[in-house]
Amino acid sequence: MTILPRGVGFATNKVTYDQPISLRFGYLVIAFRPARPGTRFSIEETHVPFLVPNDTQADLVLDCEVAPLRPLSGPVTYSAGRSWDLRRDEHGAETIVFRGGAEFGTDVWQLTLDSEFRHGKLVEAPVMPDRAVRADGYPLLEYIVARLLARHEGALIHASTAIVNEGAYVFVGHSGAGKSTIASIAESEGARIPTDDRTVLTIRNQQPMAWGTPWHGSLIRKSPEGAILRRMYLLQQAKDDRCEPLPPGRAVKELFVRLIQPRLHPTEVQLTLEVLERIVQRIPVAVLHFRPTPAAFALAIRGSTSARQS
């Protein structure tokens, strides 16, 4: 596998479908259905591995179309600066407008979700020549998945994941922490890397899992693969390699601030913290002080506190 520096990637091909599509992230399934006959869907080829059969039980069903966006009234509940605005009505239903194009100056998607986040409507403005609904649009899809995971025993975190002996080792950090670097080293040591930038965490039936995602990072291939979570590390570049175990309380806080969109609804905050509580009580979390060498990755797999320990 070729690993390129951040921001230097091959332009991937877009794949267009004349039928509904469903995408899966961890256990979460999102179904994109046509709101009117003839609606087509497109995704980048990096997302193709995340397709599942359309008869897969969906957690969220979106009726989709390409059409002019309707004007919205009412106050904005939350705004993410230029990229999106969220309006929440008195019943808990939400409408989010995502912007794109130059300087985020164009309203591109209008997403309406019912209060339970079971059903919604997605309208894409007719800004692209092929007039297909871009199911993987950024930040649309990542936003949907992050919000839904909070309600389905999961979370989306800034982290790369290495799978070794069917166990997942998750390396957490904001941009520049070394997620892709440790992933590259891990891959050279034989690990499988389903993601080097965004990891889905789940805990179902008391079993913590980590899963790949299609977003960001430097890897050309992305994988939906998941594995039983063995250990989590906060990355800290250093002059030597060592593990610093984190007590559960601090681990929850450190992980929480590295999640994607966990703070948009009180219920999601509570559920997300509960997920992290359950995870840190079951698997070790530590700071990995590391140099970019295979020895650091080997230390992470062993889980000992010193590079000298065996």
Partner 1 sequence: MISGFVDTVEYRRLDNYVYRLTVGEHLLVALHARSDEPLYALTPTGALLWERLGKWVTVDQLAEALVSEYEVSVHDARADVREFIDQLGLLKAVEQRGVAE
Per CB under 8 A, does 266 bind partner 1?
Answer: yes
Contacts of partner 1 in 195-214 (CB under 8 A): none
Q: Which residues contact 86 (CB under 8 A, 6 or more apart)?
A: 76, 77, 78, 79, 80, 94, 95, 96, 264
Among 26-34, 177-185, 244-252, 290-298, the segment contacting partner 1 (CB under 8 A): 244-252
Minimal distance, residue 196 CB to partner 1, in Å:
24
Task: Name which position in 127, 273, 295, 301 contacts partner 1 (CB under 8 A).
Answer: 273
Minimal distance, residue 31 CB to partner 1, in Å:
27
Minimal distance, residue 72 CB to partner 1, in Å:
18
Ramachandran class of 262: left when φ > 0, alpha when ψ lies in -120 to 50, beta otherwise:
alpha
Nearer to partner 1, 185 or 252 (CB): 252
Per CB under 8 A, does 17 bind partner 1?
Answer: no
Nearer to partner 1, 52 or 273 (CB): 273
DSSP 101-134: SGGG-EEEEEEEE-TTSSEEEEEE-S-STT--EE
Run of H or E including 172 = strand 167-172
Per CB under 8 A, does 144 bind partner 1?
Answer: no
Contacts of partner 1 in 60-119 (CB under 8 A): 78, 80-81
Residue pair 208/260 in contact (Cβ under 8 Å)? The answer is no
Q: How far apart are CA 146 and CA 182, in angstroms?
A: 24
DSSP 59-77: SEEEEEEE-PPPP--S--S
Per CB under 8 A, residues contacting partner 1 are: 78, 80-81, 248-250, 252-253, 256-257, 263-266, 269-270, 273-274, 276-277, 280-281
